Structure 1
Amino acid sequence: MGDDRVLGEDREEACSAIAVPASLSSAVAGYQWARNLVGQSGGAVYRLHGKQRATDLFLKHGRDALADDITGEMVRLRWLAGHIPVPAVTYFVGTADEAWLLMHALPGQTAYQVMESQPDERIAIVDALAAFLRRLHAIPLSDCPFTSDHAYRLARARARIDAGLVEEDDFDAEREGWSAEQVWDALQTLLPLAPDPVVTHGDFSLDNILLRDGVVVGCIDTGRVGIADRYQDIAILWHSLGEFDPGLQDRFFARYGIADVDRGKLHFHLLLDELF
């Protein structure tokens, strides 16, 4: 996670320190706290900053099912560290129903922040993102112990729908007013998919990629990492780029190396993402 983020009401807000296990107390002492307001499906995320001669830290905390997700992210971070730059795990504490994951911040800002603040650099940023995604997708499948394919994620999505966990008021504008069941039904019409498996990030959005001086320095929010169709990542980044300029979407396809875009897969993975 980045240590050059600017505090802003739309991205994070200052907050008080939360209670942590005794084993974490000394590691978080002396820091100012800010709660992240972006992408909190994996539990509460806090930036710990402002301590003299100390690196910024990030803390993820969750209970029950979210604790399981945070545990899964910890395992994935430790595996990914051997392949691409990710935050180093400083401490992890897990109980039967609660988890805390403390990580060192990576340098830099999110791709979203850089795109927003440096519009003249957007094409170069897209090129850097495409190169990094190709690097991720080139990790040998035999090295990856995690599965995140669409069958696995559909099963999880169905469980989330049945448990009433899908935030229907947070759907993209194209599906405003839809129910989770309508999204589910639309997904079924796009099956079966011809798989093109690679190691995927799972949520390759502009908020989860960090840059510094025009170079991608790593990725965060890795709880969905696993083998899946490459369009799992392609669709999410494509959609994120469209918030700035549709021309950037075409640039991304060209730089990644896609000449014939599979629109069905784009649509499928964007629909699937609504349920998480």
Structure 2
Amino acid sequence: MTYLGEGWDSTAVLVDGWVQRRPRRAEIGPQLVRETAVMPWLAPRLPLPVPVPEVVSADPVVVRHRLVPGEQVADLTAAMGVQLGEFLLALHASSVDEAARLGVGPLVLPVERFRAEVRVPGGEELLARLGDLPADTLVHGDLGPEHVLGRDGVLTGVIDFGDVHIGDAALDLAWALHSTPPEFAAALARTYGVTAELRERASVWHRLGPWHEVLYGNDIGDPRITEIGLAGVHERLRSWVSPI
């Protein structure tokens, strides 16, 4: 058995080629079980490998899936941008009705907690934008560098679909357009067909990202994580120029 690490929601170990995941909190158990219903349907529709988990134990909840090849990519290239753009086109074209039948619901943002726990200049302006964002697309929900895998110059998989939901396609573009090398972001934008309006919505989601880190730090009582999150909130709000 090899310990693979832990995220905010679950821990993972590698056992005989299988990644076993366990929830870190009780409310995450149903989320892991939901993946076992959604991913077998979704995986064949996607151009990159993704986890296809199965239930090992219902109480306590343990799920497992075959190891998706690759590692976190240090140097994202234009060719990888094309690959991720094609992946997102396929994901976002998936049937919302079928996803809902399999248990996928809308994103519920903790706006009141944001308002109460992240009091920063410009924060209310950002929160006000959230009510105008659409919720009509099946999205990964947590697409970032730790969840996009590659090897030998190509992408090899996308992992961690615990936050999959019916929401705004721009959420999945937030990191890819605003926190990646220019050549990668440009190739992804061309492949996906990113419009100015979609890019602007992605910037809203990008600026909201560290707010979740603040709440997570507060939840687990770790002031260091809270401070890192607040620093990110301030940095991203300072760089935000609101549209006229």
Please report the TM-score for the alignment, with normalisation by the length of structure 1.
0.62
Q: C-alpha deviations, 1:203-251, integer Å up to 9, x for none? A: 122321233555544321001112211101011322441xxx2443233
Partner Cα distance (1:79, 1:187) in 2:
35
Answer yes or no: is 1:275 the counterpart of 2:244: no
Q: CA deviation at 1:82?
A: 4.2
Match of 1:130 among 74, 85, 99: 85
- Percentage identity across paired residues of the two chains: 22
* SS class of match (1:193): coil
Partner Cα distance (2:128, 2:157) in 1:
36
As a proportion of its length, which structure holds more helix?
2
Answer yes or no: is the 8 Å Cα contact 1:77–1:87 preserved in 2. yes
Which residue of structure 2 lines up, in the alignment, with residue 89 of structure 1? 53
Partner Cα distance (1:108, 1:233) in 2:
20
Which residue of structure 1 lines up, in the alignment, with residue 96 of structure 2? 141
Residues 200-211 of structure 1 aligned to structure 2 (within 5 Å) = 200-211=139-150
Partner Cα distance (2:197, 2:185) in 1:
11
Match of 1:44 among 1, 7, 11: 11
Q: CA deviation at 1:103?
A: 1.5
Match of 2:134 among 191, 195, 210: 195
Q: CA deviation at 1:141?
A: 2.6
Partner Cα distance (2:54, 2:64) in 1:
5
Which residue of structure 2 lines up, in the alignment, with residue 232 of structure 1? 171
Q: C-alpha deviations, 1:74-124, integer Å up to 9, x for none? A: 3332332343342232543122xx4211211122333xx2xx1xx4x6111
Partner Cα distance (2:114, 2:196) in 1:
33
Name structure 1 gaps, 5 residues minimum: 1-30, 49-53, 165-178
Name structure 2 gaps, 5 residues minimum: 214-244
Answer yes or no: is 1:61 the counterpart of 2:22: yes
* SS class of match (1:35): strand
What is the total number of aligned residue pairs between the two structures? 206
Residues 1-276 of structure 1 aligned to structure 2 (within 5 Å) = 31=1, 33-36=2-5, 40-48=7-15, 54=16, 56-62=17-23, 63-84=25-46, 85-95=49-59, 98-110=60-72, 113=73, 116=74, 119=75, 122-145=77-100, 146-147=103-104, 149=106, 152-154=107-109, 157-158=110-111, 179-182=117-120, 185-195=124-134, 197-241=136-180, 245-273=181-209, 274-275=211-212
Which residue of structure 2 lines up, in the alignment, with residue 4 of structure 1? none
Please report the TM-score for the alignment, with normalisation by the length of structure 2.
0.69
- Code of the residue aligned with 1:256 in structure 2: it is Y
Answer yes or no: is the 8 Å Cα contact 1:89–1:102 preserved in 2. yes
* SS class of match (1:68): helix
Partner Cα distance (2:95, 2:55) in 1:
28
- Code of the residue aligned with 2:52 in structure 1: it is A
Partner Cα distance (1:71, 1:239) in 2:
32
- Code of the residue aligned with 2:80 in structure 1: it is I
Answer yes or no: is the 8 Å Cα contact 1:193–1:265 preserved in 2. no
- Code of the residue aligned with 2:90 in structure 1: it is R
Question: Aligned-pair RMSD on alpha carbons?
Answer: 3.1
Distance 1:269 1:92, change over 3 A: farther
Q: CA deviation at 1:139?
A: 1.6
Distance 1:76 1:159, change over 3 A: farther
Distance 1:263 1:81, change over 3 A: closer
Answer yes or no: is the 8 Å Cα contact 2:22–2:62 preserved in 1. yes
